[in-house]
Chain A
């Protein structure tokens, strides 16, 4: 089913046209006119979105807490270059998602289900739902931690998250949804501001790019942090989201280069802001992480306030609220794409809730379930946040294997199928992610069951 070029000639047999088609066509007409008029920057503006959202959405609450934990426990060395390296890996995976979405106009879930059978499709959806539920709990935790700095309670955190989900539904347009979330996602830059406010030693940051000193201490803790840091950059929801959003946006093979810019810009911004969180967390290093006591260890803003002042604490707290809020929107969307694609019903923001009931119900329902969990008193919030990332890392290799298979499928992709070099890098990424996730899982299990000392 290799896809041909744009439809420039009259179509003989007209398929029935829906409201979704009309909305997508309206967006595409602007792209068409920008391209014809040679408006380069306007074209870039129209085509960016899914890549930046996937990358900045992944700079979510648990990710920023994981980066801050890395900084607070190990300082700048190793993790400063490690985070950009991971986002380079994420770029390789996400570029494939974007390309498959642009060429096939279909989401990841439906392609896996239809191409490889319902067993694999439903396994993928189940993996996604499990990791998304845990991750969404961690996103609400992030908002709760951020708001607690301003003396606002968990009910406000829950209400804020859920109201945002409902608010972005209004309009029945993908474009509107995307622009609202994109506008919010840019506030991920607050972590860079927090990093500046802690007044880091620039020389120490530059010298840490040689991956030294390698972190010491407990081997299992190190594995946990490495696995959770990987889970903070590449996760199953990003695969579903970027492919689904690229198709929903109406991207075509002609837009692939712009999709690459979009993904690359997202990766760079996410790496810079992620390193910002790490640097802010590293301000707590000399205190051995002491003071990170609130919310069972997730109280970084308060700890930062004591070490670097109220402004740093407040900015970090606002950053956590933003990171959690944006991720709730993107992760809920990925769940909705997966659920509706696997069932085979409408799955687009270019529809109204009455036309795509399951899509919108899954979107809101998964957020609602996660919201209820965080209202449970005494929940181990830092542990949930870090383990959400680890679980994502462990489950990721299967999703990536299918992504590489789809991107190599000449029947679907035609001349846009993976090149050999992309496959070599992609398979290396899968092996690395699988190895790190399995190493932590097995080591932690053996320690817990006292099979090793």
Chain B
């Protein structure tokens, strides 16, 4: 999870904030909310999206591609090292 310090949360009880400051805070808060989509907030993007269900066929295909790519990468790296000599 993200570990940023909230600038506006329950850590500052409303009763402890003077009336004028409270109004300023609320205005600031409204401004923030107005210009961001709800799911743009750090608190929202910190929540993981649900896991997708991959079909066995898709999983097999992805593993086949992954193994193929690793093999070809090893070939490229081997060739590169050989050329150095």
Interface set of A (CB-CB < 8 Å, partner B): 1, 3-7, 10-11, 14-22, 24-26, 28-29, 31-32, 104-106, 110-111, 114-117, 120, 123, 247, 250, 252, 344-347, 351, 355-356, 380, 383, 387, 390-391, 394-395, 397-398, 401, 409, 411-412, 437-438, 440-442, 444-445, 447-448
In the complex, number of A-B residue pairs with CB atoms less than 8 Å apart: 166
Q: Contact between B49 and A105 (Cβ–Cβ < 8 Å)? A: no
Q: Contact between A7 and B2 (Cβ–Cβ < 8 Å)? A: no
Q: Contact between A114 and B72 (Cβ–Cβ < 8 Å)? A: no
Say whether, besides A105-B45, A115-B49, A18 and B37 are in contact (CB < 8 Å): no
Chain B residue nearest in CB terms to A347:
B2
Q: Contact between B75 and A21 (Cβ–Cβ < 8 Å)? A: no
Q: Give A437 to B73 CA distance when docked, in angstroms.
A: 9
Q: Contact between A445 and B79 (Cβ–Cβ < 8 Å)? A: yes
User: B24 at interface (Cβ–Cβ under 8 A)?
Assistant: no
Say whether, besides A19-B7, A105-B40, A1 and B76 are in contact (CB < 8 Å): no
Q: Contact between B5 and A7 (Cβ–Cβ < 8 Å)? A: no
Say whether, besides A16-B8, A120-B62, A380-B84, A21 and B36 are in contact (CB < 8 Å): yes
Q: How large is the interface on B (under 10, 10 to 19, 20 to 34, 35 or more residues)?
A: 35 or more
User: B9 at interface (Cβ–Cβ under 8 A)?
Assistant: yes
Q: Contact between B4 and A19 (Cβ–Cβ < 8 Å)? A: yes
Q: Give A40 to B31 CA distance when docked, in angstroms.
A: 23
Chain B 25-40, CB within 8 Å of chain A: the 1/0 string? 0000101111111111
Q: Contact between B31 and A383 (Cβ–Cβ < 8 Å)? A: no
Chain B residue nearest in CB terms to A437:
B72
The 18 sampled A-B contact pairs (Cβ below 8 Å) are A3-B39, A11-B33, A14-B29, A15-B41, A17-B41, A18-B42, A21-B41, A22-B7, A32-B35, A110-B48, A114-B51, A247-B45, A346-B2, A380-B84, A398-B66, A411-B52, A412-B49, A440-B76
Q: Contact between B32 and A7 (Cβ–Cβ < 8 Å)? A: no
Q: Give A4 to B31 CA distance when docked, in angstroms.
A: 20
Partner of B37, one of A105, A120, A398, A444: A105
Q: Contact between B76 and A394 (Cβ–Cβ < 8 Å)? A: yes
Q: Contact between B78 and A445 (Cβ–Cβ < 8 Å)? A: yes
Partner of A387, one of B2, B9, B80: B80
Q: Which residues of B contact A344 (CB under 8 A)?
A: 1-2, 46
